[in-house]
Amino acid sequence: MKKIVIIDGGPRKGMNTAQMIEAFANGAKSVGGEEIEIKTIRLYELEYKGCVSCLACKLKGSKFTDVCALKDGAAEALREAAYADGLVFASPIYFFQISAQLRAFIERLFFPWLSYVDYSSNPPKGPVPTACIYTMNAPAEFSSKFQNNMNENESVIAKALQKPEHIEANFTTQVKNYDRYAFAEGTAEAKKAYRDAHWQEDLQKAFDAGKRMAEKILG
């Protein structure tokens, strides 16, 4: 039985990032059926830190070159992610970057695999397929302003594992009822029009990426 682990780096259940994740998972299931288990890990439900630079994973003969030595609320999730056959990193964009929670998790996940002898990455399952899902307020034409940050994130993932597929949803609906919030005039209408025109397409992109990952894994 193969396993895809989806790391949900967003705080909100059932909102944009979570819906894109669900679409990805459904795409993977449509190919993988009973042969691929799909597990979503919600980082905001875990209590953990980023890498504390204990360097236990760099000791000569270290036992911690597969999973981080630090035993906090992320330990089990890190083990599951390290031994997955496919990994998805999903996040809302916060100040032009992935969320701090996801970044902290990535530090803990990848650092043990990095050799300071030759700077190679040695993940326990080898370089498994990866994907990144981002959701953001920015319309597609503005997301190019922080494309560099997403590229940096993806180059870290590519170095540790494989170059990820990039899936992004733009100009997302940020709240369910815009009447209750102070937003610029016309935002609710503009967001609704954009969502009506693009959301199904965005979900389809996530679904298709899920299918492709499952196909890769099943070979």
Residues that bind ligand FMN (CB under 6 A): 10, 12, 15-18, 92-96, 135-138, 172, 174
Which residue number, 64 or 94, has a Cβ lying nearer to ligand FMN? Answer: 94
* Residue with Cβ nearer ligand FMN (11 or 124): 11
C-beta closer to ligand FMN: residue 198 or 216: 198
The CA-atom distances, in angstroms, between 158 and each of 46, 80, 82, 138, 151 are 25, 19, 15, 25, 10
The answer to whether 13 and 95 have CB atoms below 8 angstroms apart is: no
- Closest approach, Cβ 197 to ligand FMN, in A, equals 16
First-to-final CA distance of the chain: 13
CA distance 31 to 91: 24
Instruction: Tell me if residue 201 falls in helix, strand or coil.
Output: helix
CB of 168 vs ligand FMN, minimal distance in Å: 10
Tell me how far, at minimum, the Cβ of 195 lies from ligand FMN, in Å.
11
Closest CA to 163 of 208, 97, 93, 213: 213
Residue whose CB is less far from ligand FMN, 36 or 136: 136
Q: What's the min distance (Å) between Cβ of 138 and ligand FMN? A: 3
**For residues 15 and 31, which CB has a smaller minimum distance to ligand FMN in the complex?**
15
Please state the closest distance from residue 61 (CB atom) to ligand FMN, in A. 42
**Distance separating alpha carbons of residues 121 and 126, to the nearest angstrom:** 9
For the chain, the residue count is 219
